[in-house]
């Protein structure tokens, strides 16, 4: 019930604002790290967005590896974004049964938000390449503008090539472009790197927010050693 209330509140808050420029950041967030946060903040600023909605995936079609429980990934995203007034977290994909295709998520959002809301889907430039394997790429590009985050100097020729096949002029700086490239400060951080470090007992301080590292450690997630249970009869003082 708490989850449902949470979702209703967020949608109501967003629906009440016609003309809203809404960023949506999808991903597994397994776990969320500071490159996600920096990218989201940069998109908010560079594209004058009003809100950034983080949308942790439930059961993404393109990840075969088994993910940490959705509820735990949601919790990590929530604590990581709690202090930012314009960062919100959606339960939409984790509460929905079945595969979470981006096009279905965007259709749902378009249906529940006020007419005239503009949606911007923020993703790494690498992930935009997956568009062609997603369900219904043409519709996806109708529903939202893509903000493709890249490191300065990154080679985007393959992305440009792939998009050219979908339709001319899709990528570029103009107002008609559906895919906009955004340079973010160089960050080689990825969730896989964080997971590897955690599993091998390495340090992740400053790579994930402190609150995220603390929750991971507290629950012994990602192969970290779970904390010793209290001895029988021990008192918390």
- List interacting residues with ligand ATP (CB under 6 A): 27-30, 35-36, 39, 123-124, 126-127, 149, 184, 187, 189-192
DSSP bridge partners of 208: 205
Nearer to ligand ATP by Cβ, of 202 and 229: the residue is 202
What is the DSSP code (8-state) at residue 222? Answer: G
Distance from chain centroid for Cα 218 = 23
Nearer to ligand ATP by Cβ, of 155 and 176: the residue is 155
Smallest distance from ligand ATP to CB 172, Å: 20
What is the DSSP code (8-state) at residue 31? Answer: T
State how far the alpha carbon of 87 is from the alpha carbons of 10, 84, 90, 158, in Å. Answer: 11, 5, 10, 31
Smallest distance from ligand ATP to CB 65, Å: 8
Smallest distance from ligand ATP to CB 184, Å: 6
For residue 109, what are the contacts with CB-CB under 8 A and spacing of at least 6?
22, 24, 92, 119
Smallest distance from ligand ATP to CB 117, Å: 21
Distance from chain centroid for Cα 114 = 22
Q: How far apart are CA 30 and CA 12, in angstroms?
A: 28
Q: How far apart are CA 30 and CA 194, in angstroms?
A: 9
Quick one: which of 182, 185, 172, 221 has its CA closest to 25? 182
Nearer to ligand ATP by Cβ, of 81 and 123: the residue is 123
Nearer to ligand ATP by Cβ, of 12 and 132: the residue is 132
DSSP bridge partners of 87: 52
Q: Which helix (H) or strand (E) holds 20?
A: none
Smallest distance from ligand ATP to CB 39, Å: 4
Smallest distance from ligand ATP to CB 229, Å: 30
Nearer to ligand ATP by Cβ, of 111 and 188: the residue is 188
Nearer to ligand ATP by Cβ, of 86 and 151: the residue is 151
């Amino acid at each position: 019930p708490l989850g449902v209330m949470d979702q209703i509140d967020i949608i109501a808050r967003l629906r009440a604002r016609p003309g809203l420029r809404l960023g949506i950041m999808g991903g597994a967030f397994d776990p969320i790290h500071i490159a996600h946060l920096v990218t989201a903040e940069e998109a908010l600023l560079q594209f004058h967005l009003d809100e950034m909605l983080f949308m942790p995936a439930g059961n993404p079609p393109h990840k075969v590896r088994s993910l940490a429980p959705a509820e735990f990934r949601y919790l990590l995203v929530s604590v990581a974004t709690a202090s930012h007034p314009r960062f919100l977290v959606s339960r939409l994909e984790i509460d929905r049964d079945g595969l979470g295709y981006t096009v279905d998520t965007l259709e749902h959002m378009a249906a529940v938000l006020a007419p005239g809301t503009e949606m911007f889907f923020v993703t790494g430039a690498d992930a935009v390449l997956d568009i062609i394997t997603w369900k219904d790429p043409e519709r996806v590009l109708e529903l939202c503008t893509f903000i493709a985050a890249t490191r300065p100097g990154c080679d985007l020729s393959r992305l440009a090539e792939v998009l050219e096949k979908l339709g001319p002029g899709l990528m570029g700086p103009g107002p008609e472009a559906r895919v906009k490239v955004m340079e973010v400060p160089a960050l080689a951080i990825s969730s896989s790197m964080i997971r590897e470090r955690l599993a091998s007992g390495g340090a992740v301080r400053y790579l994930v927010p402190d609150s995220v590292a603390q929750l991971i450690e507290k629950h012994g997630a990602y192969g970290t050693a779970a904390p010793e249970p209290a001895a029988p009869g021990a008192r918390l003082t």
